[in-house]
Amino acid sequence: MIPVDAVTMREIAPRFSGELAEHQDAILNAVGPVLASTLAAYEIDTRLRIAHFLAQTCHESAGFRTTEEFASGQAYEGRKDLGNTHSGDGMRYKGRGLLQLTGRANYREMGQRLGLPLEDQPELAAEPVLSLKIACEFWRRKAINPLCDADDVVGVTLKVNGGKNGLAERSQLTAKAKAAIARIQGLVMTGEAPPTANRPVLRRGSKGEVVADLQRKLQQRGFSLAIDEDFGAATEAVVMVFQRQQGLEADGIVGRDTWNALDAKR
């Protein structure tokens, strides 16, 4: 099993700021810990399969920052081909998930596959971990793995999107995903485990024990910093100083490279 996680997703996805970044962090931190095991359960377990899956889900979820379609869903009203036969079905069964599930009939079918009441409670499909499972079920039902094995970006995009919308970006994301996974495989082959496995990306506004762990590591590096589980302005400033010292981009965001630098022996 290739140990992909939230850090891998962060490496592939575009960066945002403010509220958009908070939305992205919430999704990555929820999905990251179960990403590798869930993909493996669906045989999305090779470099190419994982790369194509992460690239397509990244594009479809606007950079892993939403699991719900931005539009209202009104455009789907009355779409009998989607099973929207009741008034209000268009908005109720709007696109949700990392690969957007759309239409009453598709919610019903996916709910039956997963044993969940998605037709009665369609908002469940937007929950990040469940949206990952839904995406994997879609991937298997559409038999996309063989197209990944052939490294066929066009074919995968047609299966996911029904057209070639965003093909250039999907291709770029696939290339980034391949590179990220290759680095992980390199660590595994040399007997090293990625030191950031299952660690969330942290930024200003993050809270909790993992922030305290970060603050302790920074203290051990000689920085004067309170351990309060709150990634505020002071922690951000110290992180940026540490990043500059290590020759990293001083953006105040604690991702794979910053965690690696903190874990490295001195």
pLDDT in tens, 189-246: 555 555 555 578 889 888 887 888 899 899 999 999 888 889 999 999 999 999 999 9
- Mean pLDDT (whole number) for 35-64: 96
28 and 10 in contact (C-beta within 8 Å)? yes
- Mean pLDDT (whole number) for 22-51: 93
197 in a structural domain:
no
- At residue 140, the pLDDT reads 96
Q: Is 51 exposed, middle or buried (0-12, 13-18, 19+ CB in 10 A)?
A: buried
What gap in Å lies between CA 47 and CA 49, rounded to an integer?
Answer: 6
Q: State the amino acid at position 261 in one-letter form.
A: A
The two three-digit tokens of residue 239, written as one number: 């992180």
- At residue 242, the pLDDT reads 95
User: Within this chain, do residues 23 and 59 fall inside the same structural domain, yes or no?
Assistant: yes
User: Within this chain, do residues 148 and 47 fall inside the same structural domain, yes or no?
Assistant: yes
- At residue 7, the pLDDT reads 86
* Percent over 70 (pLDDT), the chain: 95
The count of domains in the chain is 3
User: Within this chain, do residues 49 and 154 fall inside the same structural domain, yes or no?
Assistant: yes
User: Within this chain, do residues 137 and 112 fall inside the same structural domain, yes or no?
Assistant: no
User: Within this chain, do residues 27 and 63 fall inside the same structural domain, yes or no?
Assistant: yes
Helical H runs in the chain? Answer: 6-12, 18-41, 47-60, 89-92, 104-114, 128-141, 145-149, 153-161, 167-189, 209-220, 233-245, 256-263
CA 169 to chain centre: 16
223 in a structural domain:
yes
User: Within this chain, do residues 165 and 40 fall inside the same structural domain, yes or no?
Assistant: yes
User: Within this chain, do residues 114 and 149 fall inside the same structural domain, yes or no?
Assistant: no
| 81-to-70, 73, 118, 120, 203 alpha-carbon distances in Å | 21, 15, 18, 19, 44
- At residue 187, the pLDDT reads 54
User: Within this chain, do residues 139 and 257 fall inside the same structural domain, yes or no?
Assistant: no
Tell me which residue range forms the domain holding 85.
Answer: 74-126
Does the pTM of the predicted model rise above 0.85?
Answer: no
The CATH number given to whatever domain includes residue 90 is: 3.30.20
